[in-house]
Amino acid sequence: MAKNPSALIIDTDIQARFEAKQIVKASGLTIAGECGFGMEAVSTAQELRPDVVLVGVTEPIERPLQTVEALQSLMPDMPILVYSETKELEFVRKAMMAGARDYLAKPIKPETLRQSVMMSLEAEEKRKLRQLGQLPGAATAGTIITVFGAKGGIGKSTISTNLAVALSGMARASVVIVDLDNGFGDIAGMLDVRPERTLFDMVRDLDMIERDDIERYVVKHELTDLDVMAGPTVLEWRKISPDQVRRAVEFLASNYDTVILDTSGMLNELAEMAVEIATIVLWVTTTEYASVKDSLEAMQALKMLSYSQERVRIVMNAISPDDGVRPSVVQDALQRDVFWNIPYDKKVRQGTHLGQPIVITAPQSIAAKSISDLATVISGGRIDRGKLQLPGFKWRGAAVAES
Ligand SMILES: Nc1ncnc2c1ncn2[C@@H]1O[C@H](COP(=O)(O)OP(=O)(O)OP(=O)(O)O)[C@@H](O)[C@H]1O
Ligand SMILES: [Mg+2]
């Protein structure tokens, strides 16, 4: 995907065009050109072949929407984004029906525009690959949750394993946890299972594997319904590429309701792939200065690599009893809302030593409750205990206050 995609601005209002150009520039995209509606729009788009088009929609909406329809039918691969002063639902609906990929209400933030463009292009790319048979059709059927963090020892595996166990106990959902820590990952040890095969075997055999064969490559967690895909050895990791791993994860995602990916503390190609492929990225940080600083740097790097960060949710894990910094300070530093707080709980370490997640060994402990609530929210459920209730993924855990 282009790093600085080009946008054609279609608007008859000169002032609105000027403003749109400013926003396009500020968002790091390039301007392919500008023009008015109708035939002019179609011929300019066909001549310039921009990555996306931005269409300004004002009353009367018939003409701009006619332009959207014409562009959509003549150049169906080119995402069309509509912007407008109005937030009226009826307007939005009509624009989408005409073929717009997204609807941006003014004033548009450059960041919002960039995200919208990147996501539209990503979706388009995936659609093409799927058409070519390079992506399994139902790949996105399962939710992929990547647990990432820019550092080692901050609780990624603790959160992945507990979350996986908690999710697998819910509404008969099928869950598989995959060890993508290509350093010295040990998900199998943390869940006390002894795998006969690993992700390495699955990657190697992928072209021959049918749905019913999957159980030969995973090992069942004894106390729950969770399936565990153990990680390759350090040497085996060298023999498989991130792209091969991606295909294996996509295959799993077309066969499980939820795939949880545990990652190492490094932003290498494998982790990039795990972030890119995710439905949600739980980005773990602690309140320690080093962890916040590394998170900031990694987020910056992802931005440079043009990955959409829409799906990233910050999870703050208090791994030590004397984490002094307040969550609000971390939030300010990262310039992002903290989605979830997991309190410090000494029972977590005891659970780690026993080879069992605390959601099993101490379900009433504060950390276990916090992660169980996180699982509930992720699977679309509701939690009580006076927590702030917002639609979708914008829930916040307030459990840190209880520690
Ligand atoms: N909320 C918590 N309260 C107390 N201890 C915790 C908490 N979360 C994690 N820990 C402890 O912190 C240690 C590191 O956790 P974990 O192994 O999950 O980190 P990680 O990020 O996966 O590390 P690595 O990058 O090395 O794989 C473990 O001993 C774990 O028990
Ligand atoms: Mg780990």
- Expressed as residue numbers, the domain containing 16 is 6-131
Tell whether the model's pLDDT for residue 139 goes beyond 80: no
Which is more confidently placed, 397 or 297? 297
Residue to probe by mutation, ligand 1, list 287, 319, 322, most atoms within 8 Å of CB: 319
Do 256 and 204 lie in one domain? The reply is yes
pLDDT of residue 390: 33
- Ligand 1 centroid to Cα of residue 157, in Å, is 7
Residue pair 316/327 in contact by the 8 Å Cβ criterion: yes
- In whole numbers, what is the pLDDT of the chain averaged over residues? 86
Strands (E), 231-273: 258-263
Q: Is the CB of 153 under 6 A from ligand 1?
A: yes
Is residue 240 a part of any domain in this protein?
yes
Task: Please indicate, yes or no, whether residues 206 and 305 belong to a single structural domain of this protein.
Answer: yes
Query: How much is the average pLDDT of 254-263?
Result: 94
283 and 383 co-located in one domain: yes
Tell me the two tokens of residue 237: 């990791």
Percentage of residues in the chain having pLDDT higher than 70: 87
pLDDT at 392: 33
Task: Measure 320 CA to ligand 1 centroid, in angstroms.
Answer: 10
pLDDT band at residue 308 under the 50/70/90 scheme: low
As for how many domains the chain has, the answer is 2
pLDDT attached to residue 307: 67
Q: Specify whether 91 is located in the same domain as 162.
A: no
Cα of 174 to ligand 1 centre, how many Å? 25
The C-alpha atoms of residue 41 and residue 66 are separated, in whole angstroms, by 11
Q: 349 CB less than 6 Å from ligand 1? A: yes
229 within domain boundaries: yes
- Verify that 77 and 180 share a domain, yes or no: no
Q: Which band of pLDDT confidence, cut at 50, 70 and 90, is reported for residue 132?
A: low
CB atoms inside a 10 Å sphere around CB 389 = 12
Least confident of 13-27, 167-181, 241-255: 167-181
Average pLDDT of the segment spanning 313-324: 78
Share of the chain above pLDDT 90, in %: 56
Task: For 189-245, write each residue's pLDDT tens digit.
Answer: 999 999 999 999 999 999 999 888 999 999 999 889 899 999 999 899 999 999 999
Residues 30 and 63 in one domain: yes
> Does any ligand 1 atom lie closer than 6 A to the CB of residue 320?
no
197 falls within a domain: yes
With bands split at pLDDT 50, 70 and 90, how would you rate the model's confidence at 91?
A: confident
Mutate-to-test residue for ligand 1 from 295, 348, 372, highest number of ligand atoms within 8 A of CB:
348
Structural domain contains residue 110: yes
Q: Which long-range contacts (CB under 8 A, 24 or more apart) does 349-358 make?
A: 352/158, 352/190, 355/189, 355/190, 355/191, 355/192, 356/191, 356/192, 356/223, 357/158, 357/161, 357/162, 357/165, 357/190, 357/191, 358/162
Whether the CB of 370 sits within 6 Å of ligand 1: no
Whether the CB of 352 sits within 6 Å of ligand 1:
yes
- Distances in Å between the alpha carbon of 213 and those of 133, 209, 299? 21, 6, 38
* pLDDT, average across residues 350-378: 89
| Residue 312 in this model has a pLDDT that exceeds 90 | no
Residue 1 lies in a domain: no
In a domain, 64, yes or no: yes
Per-residue pLDDT at 332:
83
